[in-house]
Chains A and B, each alone.
Chain A
Amino acid sequence: MNANSFDSSKVTPLGAPVRRKEDRRFITGKGRYTDDLARPGQTHAYFLRSPYAHARIRGIDTAAAAAMPGVVAILTGHDLAADGIRGLICGWMIHSKDGSPMKAGYHPALAKDKVRYVGDHVAVVIGETLNAAKDAAAAIAVDYEVLPAAADLGSAQAAGAAHIHDDAPRNTAFEWELGDKTATEAAFARAAHVTTIDLVNNRLAPNPMEPRAAIGEYDAGDESYTLWTTSQNPHVARLVLSAFVGLAPENKLRVIAPDVGGGFGSKIFIYAEETVCAWASKRVGRPVKWTCDRSEAFLCDAHGRDHITHGELALDGQGKIIGFRVKTTANMGAYLSTFASCVPTYLYATLLSGQYDIPAIYCEVDAVYTNTAPVDAYRGAGRPEATFLVERIVEKAAREIGQDSAEFRRRNFITSFPHQTPVILSYDIGGYAASLDKALELSDYANFPARKAEAARRGKLRGIGLSNYIEACGIAPSAAVGSLGAGVGLWESAEVRVNPTGNVEVLTGSHSHGQGHETTFAQLVSARLGIPIDHVTIVHGDTDKVQFGMGTYGSRSGAVGMSAISKALDKVEAKAKKIAAHILEASEGDIEFKDGHFTVSGTDRSLAFAAVALNAYVAHKFPTSEIEPGLKEGAFYDPVNFTFPAGCHICELEVDPETGTTEIIKWVAVDDFGAIINPMIVEGQVHGGIAQGVGQALLEGVRYDAEGQLLTGSYMDYTMPRAGDLPSFVVGMTETRCPSNPLGIKGCGEAGAIAAPPAVINALTDALGTEDIPMPATPATLWKIAQGQIARRAAE
Chain B
Amino acid sequence: MYAFDYQRPAGLDEALAALRAGEDVKVLAGGQTLLPTLKQRLAQPSALVDLAAIPELSRIEHGPYFLTIGAMARHAEVAASPMVAEAIPALAELAGLIGDPAVRNRGTIGGSIANNDPTADYPAACLALGATVVTSTRRIAAEDFFTGLFETALAEDEVILAVEFPVGARAAYRKFRNPASRYAMAGVFVAARDGEVRVAVTGAGQGGVFRWNDAEAALSADFSPAALDGLTLDPSDVMADLHGSAEYRAQLVKVMAKRAVAAIAS
Task: Assess whether A780 is in contact with B248, with CB atoms less than 8 Å apart.
Answer: yes
Kindly list the 7 A-B residue pairs having the minimum CB-CB distance in the complex, ordered from nearest. A780-B244, A719-B180, A716-B181, A719-B179, A780-B248, A658-B255, A717-B180
Task: Assess whether A703 is in contact with B242, with CB atoms less than 8 Å apart.
Answer: yes
What are the interface flags for B122-133 relative to A under an 8 Å C-beta threshold, 1 for contact and 0 otherwise?
000000000000
With a CB–CB cut-off of 8 A, which chain B residues contact A3? none
What are the interface flags for A123-150 relative to B under an 8 Å C-beta threshold, 1 for contact and 0 otherwise?
0000000010010000000000000000
Task: Assess whether A659 is in contact with B255, with CB atoms less than 8 Å apart.
Answer: yes
Task: Assess whether B248 is in contact with A784, with CB atoms less than 8 Å apart.
Answer: yes
Task: Assess whether B243 is in contact with A778, with CB atoms less than 8 Å apart.
Answer: yes
With a CB–CB cut-off of 8 A, which chain A residues contact B255? 658-659
Task: Assess whether B243 is in contact with A780, with CB atoms less than 8 Å apart.
Answer: yes
What are the interface flags for B245-259 relative to A under an 8 Å C-beta threshold, 1 for contact and 0 otherwise?
100100110010000
A712: Cβ under 8 A from any B Cβ: yes
27 A-B residue pairings within 8 Å (CB atoms): A131-B1, A131-B2, A131-B3, A134-B41, A295-B40, A658-B251, A658-B255, A659-B251, A659-B255, A699-B179, A699-B180, A715-B180, A715-B181, A717-B180, A717-B181, A717-B242, A717-B243, A719-B179, A719-B180, A720-B180, A778-B244, A779-B176, A779-B179, A780-B243, A780-B244, A783-B248, A783-B251
Q: Which A residues are closer than 8 A to B by beta carbons?
A: 131, 134, 295, 658-660, 699, 703, 711-712, 715-720, 778-780, 783-784
Report how far A784 CA is from B244 CA in the complex, Å: 10
With a CB–CB cut-off of 8 A, which chain A residues contact B245? 780, 784
Report how far A784 CA is from B247 CA in the complex, Å: 9
Report how far A326 CA is from B180 CA in the complex, Å: 34
Task: Assess whether A778 is in contact with B179, with CB atoms less than 8 Å apart.
Answer: yes
Task: Assess whether A659 is in contact with B176, with CB atoms less than 8 Å apart.
Answer: yes
- Give the distance to chain A from B210, nearest Cβ to Cβ, in Å: 21
Report how far A718 CA is from B243 CA in the complex, Å: 10
Residue from A659, A716, A778 in contact with B252 in the complex, judged by beta carbons closer than 8 Å: A659
- Give the distance to chain A from B2, nearest Cβ to Cβ, in Å: 8
Which B-chain residue is minimally distant from A700 (CB atoms)?
Answer: B180
- Give the distance to chain B from A300, nearest Cβ to Cβ, in Å: 17
Given contacts A659-B252, A780-B248, A784-B248, 20 further A-B contacts (CB under 8 A): A131-B1, A131-B2, A131-B3, A658-B251, A658-B255, A659-B176, A660-B248, A712-B242, A715-B180, A716-B180, A717-B180, A717-B181, A717-B243, A719-B179, A719-B180, A778-B243, A779-B176, A779-B244, A780-B244, A783-B251
With a CB–CB cut-off of 8 A, which chain B residues contact A780? 243-245, 248
- Give the distance to chain A from B89, nearest Cβ to Cβ, in Å: 22
Which A-chain residue is minimally distant from B179 (CB atoms)?
Answer: A719
Which B-chain residue is minimally distant from A720 (CB atoms)?
Answer: B180
With a CB–CB cut-off of 8 A, which chain B residues contact A134? 41
- Give the distance to chain B from A695, nearest Cβ to Cβ, in Å: 11
With a CB–CB cut-off of 8 A, which chain B residues contact A715? 180-181
Which A-chain residue is minimally distant from B1 (CB atoms)?
Answer: A131
- Give the distance to chain A from B168, nearest Cβ to Cβ, in Å: 31
With a CB–CB cut-off of 8 A, which chain B residues contact A784? 245, 248
What are the interface flags for B162-183 relative to A under an 8 Å C-beta threshold, 1 for contact and 0 otherwise?
0000000000000010011100
With a CB–CB cut-off of 8 A, which chain A residues contact B243? 717, 778, 780
User: CB within 8 Å of A: which of B93-107?
Assistant: none
With a CB–CB cut-off of 8 A, which chain A residues contact B3? 131
Report how far A712 CA is from B3 CA in the complex, Å: 29
Task: Assess whether A711 is in contact with B252, with CB atoms less than 8 Å apart.
Answer: no
With a CB–CB cut-off of 8 A, which chain B residues contact A659? 176, 251-252, 255
- Give the distance to chain A from B32, nearest Cβ to Cβ, in Å: 13
With a CB–CB cut-off of 8 A, which chain A residues contact B41? 134
With a CB–CB cut-off of 8 A, which chain B residues contact A660? 248
- Give the distance to chain A from B143, nearest Cβ to Cβ, in Å: 29
Report how far A720 CA is from B178 CA in the complex, Å: 12
Report how far A616 CA is from B252 CA in the complex, Å: 75
With a CB–CB cut-off of 8 A, which chain B residues contact A720? 180
User: CB within 8 Å of A: which of B156-215?
Assistant: 176, 179-181
Interface-central residue, B3, B40, B243, by most chain A CB under 10 Å: B243
Interface-central residue, B1, B3, B181, B242, by most chain A CB under 10 Å: B242
Report how far A718 CA is from B252 CA in the complex, Å: 21
With a CB–CB cut-off of 8 A, which chain A residues contact B1? 131
Task: Assess whether B242 is in contact with A711, with CB atoms less than 8 Å apart.
Answer: yes
Report how far A720 CA is from B2 CA in the complex, Å: 30
Report how far A565 CA is from B1 CA in the complex, Å: 48
With a CB–CB cut-off of 8 A, which chain A residues contact B248? 660, 780, 783-784
With a CB–CB cut-off of 8 A, which chain B residues contact A711? 242
With a CB–CB cut-off of 8 A, which chain B residues contact A131? 1-3
Report how far A716 CA is from B99 CA in the complex, Å: 11
Report how far A708 CA is from B85 CA in the complex, Å: 49
With a CB–CB cut-off of 8 A, which chain A residues contact B40? 295
- Give the distance to chain A from B224, nearest Cβ to Cβ, in Å: 17
- Give the distance to chain B from A761, nearest Cβ to Cβ, in Å: 17
With a CB–CB cut-off of 8 A, which chain A residues contact B252? 659
Report how far A295 CA is from B40 CA in the complex, Å: 10
With a CB–CB cut-off of 8 A, which chain A residues contact B251? 658-659, 783
User: CB within 8 Å of A: which of B1-35?
Assistant: 1-3
Report how far A699 CA is from B242 CA in the complex, Å: 12
Interface-central residue, A699, A712, A720, A778, by most chain B CB under 10 Å: A778
Which B-chain residue is minimally distant from A715 (CB atoms)?
Answer: B180
Report how far A64 CA is from B245 CA in the complex, Å: 46
- Give the distance to chain A from B185, nearest Cβ to Cβ, in Å: 8
Report how far A703 CA is from B241 CA in the complex, Å: 12
Report how far A134 CA is from B2 CA in the complex, Å: 10
Which A-chain residue is minimally distant from B182 (CB atoms)?
Answer: A722
- Give the distance to chain A from B264, nearest Cβ to Cβ, in Å: 18
Which A-chain residue is minimally distant from B240 (CB atoms)?
Answer: A780
Report how far A720 CA is from B244 CA in the complex, Å: 17
Report how far A703 CA is from B243 CA in the complex, Å: 11
Report how far A783 CA is from B40 CA in the complex, Å: 35
Report how far A718 CA is from B245 CA in the complex, Å: 17
- Give the distance to chain A from B166, nearest Cβ to Cβ, in Å: 31
Which A-chain residue is minimally distant from B2 (CB atoms)?
Answer: A131
Task: Assess whether B176 is in contact with A718, with CB atoms less than 8 Å apart.
Answer: no
- Give the distance to chain B from A294, nearest Cβ to Cβ, in Å: 10
- Give the distance to chain A from B78, nearest Cβ to Cβ, in Å: 21
Report how far A65 CA is from B245 CA in the complex, Å: 44
- Give the distance to chain A from B242, nearest Cβ to Cβ, in Å: 6
Report how far A783 CA is from B243 CA in the complex, Å: 12
Interface-central residue, B40, B41, B252, by most chain A CB under 10 Å: B252
With a CB–CB cut-off of 8 A, which chain B residues contact A717? 180-181, 242-243
Report how far A711 CA is from B243 CA in the complex, Å: 11
Report how far A779 CA is from B245 CA in the complex, Å: 11
Report how far A131 CA is from B252 CA in the complex, Å: 43
Report how far A713 CA is from B243 CA in the complex, Å: 14
Interface-central residue, B3, B41, B251, by most chain A CB under 10 Å: B251
With a CB–CB cut-off of 8 A, which chain B residues contact A719? 179-180
With a CB–CB cut-off of 8 A, which chain B residues contact A716? 180-181
Given contacts A131-B1, A659-B252, contact A718 B180 (CB under 8 A): yes
What are the interface flags for B215-259 relative to A under an 8 Å C-beta threshold, 1 for contact and 0 otherwise?
000000000000000000000000000111100100110010000
Which B-chain residue is minimally distant from A131 (CB atoms)?
Answer: B1
Report how far A784 CA is from B252 CA in the complex, Å: 12
Report how far A715 CA is from B178 CA in the complex, Å: 11
Report how far A660 CA is from B245 CA in the complex, Å: 13
Report how far A295 CA is from B39 CA in the complex, Å: 12
Interface-central residue, A712, A718, A780, A784, by most chain B CB under 10 Å: A780
- Give the distance to chain A from B244, nearest Cβ to Cβ, in Å: 4
- Give the distance to chain B from A132, nearest Cβ to Cβ, in Å: 11
Report how far A491 CA is from B203 CA in the complex, Å: 54
Report how far A719 CA is from B40 CA in the complex, Å: 20
Report how far A699 CA is from B180 CA in the complex, Å: 8
Which A-chain residue is minimally distant from B100 (CB atoms)?
Answer: A722
- Give the distance to chain B from A535, nearest Cβ to Cβ, in Å: 40
With a CB–CB cut-off of 8 A, which chain A residues contact B176? 659, 779
Which A-chain residue is minimally distant from B41 (CB atoms)?
Answer: A134
Report how far A662 CA is from B179 CA in the complex, Å: 11
